[in-house]
Chains A and B, each alone.
Chain A
Amino acid sequence: DIVMTQSPDSLAVSLGERATINCKSSQSVLYSSNNKNSLAWYQQKPGQPPKLLIYWASTRESGVPDRFSGSGSGTDFTLTISSLQAEDVAVYYCQQYYSSPFTFGPGTKVDIK
């Protein structure tokens, strides 16, 4: 099974500042048939289901603000919120969909400093 880890566990960032979340997979999730990384990022606010933000490691889902961006390849990935807004307070999860079981990372909680 591919194990997903995230760092930090939590972070507090001032409004308008940058937030960076890291995700690491225990093996490469690069899908050879399209040369894309099978890595997604989700945002979950309290009492709500998760929401897809980013797929193929760097493709923003329709309607997601452009302050959210994803990067990385192979085993190391990053979600960046370029200018944190109050509505971005949430837990963020990465997930690999390269091979079953399609494991999630443990989550990173983002708060306002």
Chain B
Amino acid sequence: EVQLVESGGDLVQPGGSLRLSCAASGFTFSSYAMSWVRQAPGKGLAWVSVISGSGGTTYLADSVKGRFTISRDNSKNTLYLQTNSLRAEDTAVYYCARGSGATNTALDYWGQGTLVTVSP
């Protein structure tokens, strides 16, 4: 059974940092691209970032470029999102989701999400 479990969300002050993690199980992690998608309270879905199975290809939304970094450790079956210089508008539930082999695919499994709150 495919499972994705996010962690690392917290209340953080503006300008602060958090590292989000997504522990994957039930599939060959290194064979799949992985994505982060966020959802601000009461709002729609917003794509954040994707990383290829090998980790060699990454893409970021313009709104987080220069502040967020996506990475993965295939030996630990874990996806990461390093978030720096956080702003109030980064407040959201952050979901990790599985793609297929390529970075440009639909997202077939999603975690339950982890809440990041940016507030003084």
Contact = CB atoms under 8 A, between A and B. Distances in A.
Residue from B103, B105, B106, B113 whose CB has the most chain A CB atoms within 10 Å? B106
A52 B46 contact: no
Contact of A52 (B45, B61, B62, B108): B108
Contacts of B103: 100
Contact of A50 (B50, B61, B95, B104): B95
Interface residues of A, number: 26
Contacts of A51: 110
Nearest to B58: A100
Report the interface size class on chain B. 20 to 34
Contacts of B105: 55, 97
B88 interface: no
Nearest to A48: B112
A104 B46 CA distance: 6
A80 B50 CA distance: 29
Contacts of B46: 104
A14 B6 CA distance: 37
A100 B35 CA distance: 12
A69 to B, nearest CB: 16
Interface in B30-81: 35, 37, 44-47, 50, 59, 61-62
B31 to A, nearest CB: 18
B111 interface: yes
A73 B57 CA distance: 28
Contacts of A110: none
Nearest to A107: B44
Interface of A: 1, 38, 40, 42, 44, 49-52, 55-56, 61, 91, 93, 95, 97-107
